[in-house]
Amino acid sequence: MSQKLNSAMSLSKVAAIRHFQVSHDRFTFGTTQERRRIMTERVTEDSKSWVEKAVAFFMASGKRIALAEYTNPYGKFVQDEMYIYVLNPNGTMLAHGVNEKFVGEDFSDVKDYDGKSFIKEIIKTANAQGSGWVYYKWYHPITGQVLPKATYFEKVDDLIICSGDYKEYPMGVTLLHDPMLNKGTAFTESERHALKLRGLLPPHVQTQEEQAGRVMDNFRKKPNELERYIQLVGLQDRNETLFYYVLMNNIEEMMPIVYTPTVGKACQEFGHIFRRPRGLYISLNDKGKIAEILENWPYKDVRVIVVTDGERILGLGDLGAFGMGIPIGKLSLYTACAGIHPAYTLPVFLDVGTENETLLKDPLYTGILQKRARGKAFDKFFAEFIKAVQKVFPRALIQLEDFANINAFRLLHAYKDRICTFDDDIQGTAAVTLAGVYSALRLTKGQFKDQKFLFLGSGEAGIGIGDLIVSALIDDGMPEDKARKRCWFMDSKGLVVKSRTDLVKHKLPYAHENPHCPDLLAAIQLLKPTALIGVSGTPKGFTQPMVEAMSKLNERPMIFALSNPTSKAECTAEEAYTWSDGRAIFASGSPFPPFTYKGTTFIPGQGNNAYIFPGVGLGVIACEAKRITDQMFLATAKSLAAQVLESDLAQGRIFPSLQRIQEVSAVIATAVAEVAYSQSLARKKRPADLLEYIKSRMYQPVYQKYV
């Protein structure tokens, strides 16, 4: 075998396998192979397209002719440095484009430079999934350098058709300026020598832990949250692995910085604190060229896109292009909370203008200077974006984020049954809120079917929550008409009732027969709800008389002040606990600190969508779901609630600790994938142990060895 290995490593220049590209079918988020793959992502899809051509030739010509052509060194499947080789399911070589002597030999035990049995992995994955990629280290036949290498393969009948490629590491300053690859002062002595880094770094080699200590020391010295946000953005732009290492290990401390509430302030100042572009900006000026722009993205296997037009950023309104901070922040949580590799993620801003006059007059505004496109112009532009994504990133999940009511509902309804998409403001908020209700019922000892919900706010979040509650009640056996009557809504003009003539379409299913009620306190007294849910974006919308009224009606009233950021919350945790005499079951959209009332310390539950959307994305990628269904969000709500510990409930917390977020996300991902399999929406074959499979593939931000 060693002789065979040496022969394989001394092939001529024609045999130099030339590949390593980003698009692949293997589900690898955090393995060593995945991190090596990132070194080579910025190249075209030579290997995959070469195999696909070989498969097409096989289907057209038959096995005998195809194998002969694959082995012909002057044939159509040996071109420049590209060639095909073919294995049978036992690892025997059936064809080889540059060395006919390999044909008939057993390659099943061949290992790479690190001792990895990559041929066995090809066979195993091909038998299980039909196609995929394998990543390993191999000697380059010309330079003798050990380089990362990848092979794409497809199984056709009893053949495994393969092709591969090398890609040299970037070196010197180029390597230091690549945030996905840079290790900074953690490059070892041998790496510094081999990668031409000597003199470009201080001489002392530091560990990742030492680097993280420096980051945290500086982080805690910053005078305010916005400065901490700027520091972390800078770190992400320099060294993505260290950024996620620090974020994952300090998630409770840092999540309020990288996302709500600090991200709201960061969006308001986005053009003024702008340092380096991240993601893709696509404007109306790019009509007809959106696919071309998507091709500019350096990573070719995008699996999760978060897209916004910036019209309804949190509770802050139209921030136009400054709203790009939201997709960036959300995608950092897909990685930190669910272990989705950052190379699989893409933030997108669709610039259709803004109605914000202050921004249009701001010389540092980063968007196009015009009013928003509406109607057909908007729809045509958005449709081109969706079509382009389907072409360039066909396996990407598209998360709709912070679109205004005028577009959010109709876009979701127009596309949810056609592509893999969801709206986190509508569906993610709904799932985390329903999970909070399920957990709260463990404290109240009540029955779900007996609850009555009164919402302050009837926009995307409120109606989304109502719809999921109705789905859950129907799933429990309640007729739809009765289920809808468990949900009541207040908008800016009072209670949503059937006699009103000013209601928009999405409110009509919740317009019940009832006298008009102009204010929330009167509605509480009239309807006697068990849960009061704030999603209005109106600060201080829950007053002391309202919470006291809820406390008179319920021994343990549910008070959910979910509006973001903190400045928009309907009430604080302190107010809810004080006004209810410590009996409220409280949840908020943004975090509040622990509060002690009459000797009891409460830890407020944060109804953070980060409990939901990362796990949904992870589950979708794991099974390659074709669609995202309402049943998946119902499953995530039940799964999240089931992970709340008795120790959490004892402290008044109705959601798990954020320190357990990756564990929680893996379980939610499993629940999502199970629904996909049950609804025949999964493209991938189900592994025997789905949860362990998902856990084993989650990205871990640990430096790789380059030499």
Instruction: Take residue 322 and report the two structure tokens written for it.
Output: 């400054």
151: part of which helix (H) or strand (E)?
strand 146-156
Q: What stretch of H or E contains 327? A: helix 325-338
Enumerate residues 6+ apart whose C-beta is below 8 A from 55. 154, 156, 161
Per DSSP, the residues of 32-90 read HHHHHHHTT-SS--HHHHHHHHHHHHHHHH-HHHHHHHHH-TTSTT-BTTB--EEE-TT
Give the residue among 109, 154, 114 at the shortest CA–CA distance from 135: 114
- To the query of whether residue 259 is one of the catalytic residues in this protein, the response is yes
H or E stretch at 413: helix 405-415
Q: What token pair was written down for 596?
A: 């002690």
Q: Vertex 648, ends 644 and 651: CA angle to 5°?
A: 150
Per-residue 3-state assignment (H helix, E strand, C coil) for 421-456: EEEHHHHHHHHHHHHHHHHHHHHHCCCHHHCCEEEE
Residue 372: helix, strand or coil by DSSP? coil
637 contacts 472 by C-beta, under 8 angstroms = yes
Prior bond to 565 cis, omega within 30?
A: yes
Structure tokens at 705: 């060895």
In angstroms, the CA 484 to CA 476 distance is: 13
Structure-token match 């949503």, residue found: 496
CA distance 83 to 78: 4
Residues 247, 229: Cα–Cα separation, whole Å? 12
- From the candidates 85, 229, 259, 334, which is the catalytic residue? 259
Q: Which of 330, 416, 507, 695 is catalytic?
A: 330
Burial grade of 443 (CB within 10 A; 0-12, 13-18, 19 or more): middle
CB 31 within 8 A of CB 5: no
CA gyration radius for the chain?
28
User: How many of the other CB atoms lie within 10 Å of CB of 505?
Assistant: 8
| Active site amino acids | 259, 330
